[in-house]
Amino acid sequence: MRLVDDARNWWRWWSVQVSALTAIAVGWAMASPQQVLGLVTYVPEFWRPAVGALVGLCLFSLHSGARVTQQGGKANG
């Protein structure tokens, strides 16, 4: 396995930042499932499958978009 050239700047990459935010959200959901269920009750039962799929699609698009978007040049160290 080889690292990318600017691996030391991993914390500046949007894809890493989006993944970190997602990990925080999942951690919160696992630590407080009753709050997640409280949020789900605001969505009408008929729409819950569609909303679940839309949330998944949005997260996938956000991660993928952050990964393929050209960001600023390399840092000066």
Q: Where are the domains of the chain?
A: 8-68
Q: Do residues 15 and 67 make contact, with C-beta atoms less than 8 angstroms apart?
A: yes
**Per the confidence metrics, is the pTM higher than 0.85?**
no
Q: How many residues does the chain have?
A: 77
DSSP 41: T
Inter-residue contact 6 to 50 (CB < 8 Å):
no
Instruction: Give 53's Cβ-side CA count (13 Å radius).
Output: 3
Q: What does the alpha-carbon distance between residue 34 and residue 75 come to, in Å, rounded to a whole number?
A: 43
76, pLDDT greater than 60: no
> What confidence category does residue 1 fall into, taking pLDDT thresholds of 50, 70 and 90?
confident
